[in-house]
Amino acid sequence: MLHRCRRQVLREKMDLIGIVCDEHCIPGKYYCLFCPKCKGGRLMERSLSLHVIPTGDFAMWRCFRFECGWAGRIFADGRLAFNGFSKTEKMVGRSSKESLVLEPLCDELISYFSMRMISQETLERNVVMQVVGRQQVAIAFTYRQNGQLVGCKYRTMDKRFWQEKGTAKFLYGIDDINDADELIIVEGEMDKLSVEEAGFLNCISVPGGAPSKVSTDTIPPIEKDSAYQYLWGCKDYLDKVSRIILATDSDVPGQALAEELARRLGKHRCWRVDWPYKDGFNRFKDANEVLVHLGPDALKNAIQDAKFYQLSISISIQKEEGLFQEH
């Protein structure tokens, strides 16, 4: 009975956007249907591949005509459908959702994220998508501003990264800090999603990871400060914030990034997160490691325990110099 109802919901929702599945939308099955967007082209092919996942929770589709590439996902519960076009030939150097090869995450990537403790709800809210390359599938972290796609960063399962041109000018998650008086900055998209699992939405990630060390020079003028153009480009968002929590990685580059950010944002309004120790000597590396090993509450506590930046730095210098002894 339950399955029949879900199937009806899926069918009704598909009807609304023009996908006609006149068979019964049986979970686990694949269907070849007419694509309502391109109507199958001149040959009127049945080019739309529709798959209802075995649990019946959602259906996903993709039009395999090169010129079309319409793809999307529709849910049996109250969640909104999403869809877009993905024309493979326009993959490089474009930045509108129509020209990127973006499609809903496949089950394999969804389960990869769930092993990293990132829920499907968080993935959907952040419009995390996938691209299918010749060799393999990559995660697509969409960079959006006022809901519009402004950049995209890709990551394969074996941790290769690349990005659309222009992505380096933006912070990931910028729409989430529109009304924020306080914000959290992390070092990667995965960490932004992790912080969301701990209950904080007011979090942004830098687009390009961390420098190897703190630069010895003074801060260059804005137009020459190329590695940090994302800060200057998003200055309006950052200027109105009274408290900034730096939650970068615990390694040397992560500390260097925190210092570079603090120098530019003003140390007087920065706080620093110290990730918990995983053994007697080493700390967990980042927000996602804490989430995976200790859970969302521990991650939340670590963020809430952030220390005033200048104080936290002077303590760690004293520690390095052996002047500070813990009893």
Residues of this chain that bind Zn ion (CB under 5 A): 35, 37-38, 63, 65, 68, 70
Q: How far is the CB of 62 from Zn ion (least distance, A)?
A: 9
Distance of CA 220 to the CA centre of its chain: 30
CA dihedral 276, 188, 108, 2 (to 10 degrees): 80
| Closest distance to Zn ion from the beta carbon of 42 (Å) | 12
**Angle of CA points 296, 279, 118, to nearest 5°:** 25
Q: Which is nearer to Zn ion, 65 or 144 (CB)?
A: 65
- Total number of residues shown for the chain: 327
Q: State in angstroms the smallest separation of the CB of 63 from Zn ion.
A: 3
Cα separation, 219 vs 215, in Å, equals 9
Q: Which is nearer to Zn ion, 19 or 63 (CB)?
A: 63
Could you tell me the smallest distance in angstroms from the CB atom of residue 16 to Zn ion? Answer: 17
- Report the C-alpha gap between 123 and 243 in whole angstroms: 27
Token pair for 19: 């996908």
Give the separation between CA 122 and CA 283, rounded to whole angstroms.
Answer: 26
Shortest distance, position 108 Cβ to Zn ion, whole Å: 24
Q: How far is the CB of 225 from Zn ion (least distance, A)?
A: 45
For Zn ion, give the closer residue by CB, 68 or 287: 68
Nearer to Zn ion, 6 or 65 (CB): 65
Kindly give the interhelix angle for 252-265 and 309-320, rounded to the nearest 10 degrees.
140
Beta carbon nearer to Zn ion, 6 or 37: 37
CB 275 within 8 A of CB 302: yes
Q: Shortest approach of Zn ion to residue 138 CB, angstroms?
A: 23
Q: Measure Cα distances from 24 to 7, 8, 46, 55 in Å.
A: 8, 9, 17, 15
Closer residue to Zn ion (CB): 38 or 204: 38
C-alpha to C-alpha distance for 266 and 256, rounded to whole angstroms: 15
CA distance 2 to 13: 17
- Taking the complex as a whole, how short is the minimal distance between the CB of residue 250 and Zn ion, in angstroms? 48
Q: How many CA atoms lie within 13 A of 216 on its CB side?
A: 0
> Of the two residues 43 and 115, which places its CB atom closer to Zn ion in the complex?
43
Nearest residue to 271 (alpha-carbon basis) of 304, 307, 241: 307
Q: Is 70 within 8 Å of 17 (Cβ atoms)?
A: no
Radius of gyration of the chain (CA): 23
- Our CB check for Zn ion shows the closer of 67 and 297 to be 67
Residue 228: DSSP 8-state: G
